[in-house]
Amino acid sequence: MAFFWYAFYKSFMPEGPSIVILKELAVPFAGQKVTGVSGNSTLPIDRAKGKKIIAFKSWGKHFLICFKDFTIRIHFLLFGSYRINEEKEGIPRLGLSFENGFINFYACSVKIIEEPLDEMYDWSADIMSDNWNPKAAKKKLKKTPAMLACDALLNQDIFSGSGNIIKNEVLYRIQVHPLSTIGKLPPKKLTELINETRVYSFDFLQWKKAYVLKKHWLAHTKKTCVRCKGPIHKEYLGLTRRRSFFCPVCQKLYE
């Protein structure tokens, strides 16, 4: 069988922009009937066989494969990956075959959603969505004044799709220390945090498509601050204990 397009990602960063890329790559399968199902998921994934895919959607870090009566949700967790028209060693968690190709998902979480997606998801919280609502994000943030900035940017109910890279880069851009509390941020800084999260996410998307994302990192995994030339600190902060890269000189601590 000749496949009419090909995609293969070795390094997958499961943040919102990367899921948008996957959604775009999967478009040739939209409207196609699933001819085969494979994988080691314990869920009844075989029910997808013979069914037509209505659409592919994304919400934050969730990739949604929509059928008429149900949806398969893929969450890549920290180390998940996918292959389109390309196999890798190991059994996929879920594999879907079509007349025009196949897609495999590895080391991910698979869930079957029976309810209408509009009842399950707040689309206004998705930082990549046309329905993104910064006013709603600000309202949620103001209800959690004790929350740390590093935790806020990983809170999927507020910034769906934001991950550790986005967190570190946004806080560096707006010069806010990750241990700052939301309630102590000046109104201008709070607005800046919200707006810059959206802006950086689309920068991420553009750079990821061009395979130059890492070249544009200013703080994430870096050792020297490009502003003051001092050392970038690496610490495991917040409730999530995820890696934070920050400049203790340039990024002000609001507490």
Query: 98 pLDDT exceeds 90?
Result: yes
Coil, strand or helix: which one is 81? strand
pLDDT at res. 12: 55
pLDDT digits (tens, 9 = 90+) for 165-211: 999 999 999 999 999 999 999 999 999 999 999 999 999 999 999 99
pLDDT digits (tens, 9 = 90+) for 19-45: 999 999 999 999 999 999 999 999 999
What mean pLDDT is predicted for residues 148-156?
98
DSSP annotation of 54: -
pLDDT at res. 14: 83
What mean pLDDT is predicted for residues 214-219?
96
What mean pLDDT is predicted for residues 97-102?
95
CA distances for 135 relative to 127, 141, 148, 190, angstroms: 12, 10, 19, 11
The residues facing 231 across adjacent strands are 224
Coil, strand or helix: which one is 192? helix
Strands of the sheet containing 81-84, edge to edge, are 7-8, 81-84, 101-106, 94-98, 36-38
pLDDT at res. 2: 38
* Whether the model pTM is above 0.85: yes
pLDDT at res. 148: 98
Tell me the pLDDT of the chain averaged across its residues: 94
Q: Which of 7-11, 157-161, 181-185 has the lowest mean pLDDT?
A: 7-11
Please identify which residue in the block is written with the tokens 């070249």: 215
What mean pLDDT is predicted for residues 242-249?
97
pLDDT at res. 79: 87
The residues facing 97 across adjacent strands are 36, 102
* Angstrom distance (rounded) from CA 109 to CA 93: 8
pLDDT band at 101 (very low <50, low <70, confident <90, very high): very high
* Angstrom distance (rounded) from CA 6 to CA 241: 37
Q: For residue 85, is it left (φ>0), alpha (ψ between -120 and 50) or beta?
A: left
What mean pLDDT is predicted for residues 91-119?
96
Query: 99 pLDDT exceeds 60?
Result: yes
Task: Return the percentage of the chain with pLDDT > 90, whole number.
Answer: 91
* Angstrom distance (rounded) from CA 178 to CA 159: 16
Query: 118 pLDDT exceeds 50?
Result: yes
What mean pLDDT is predicted for residues 122-131?
96
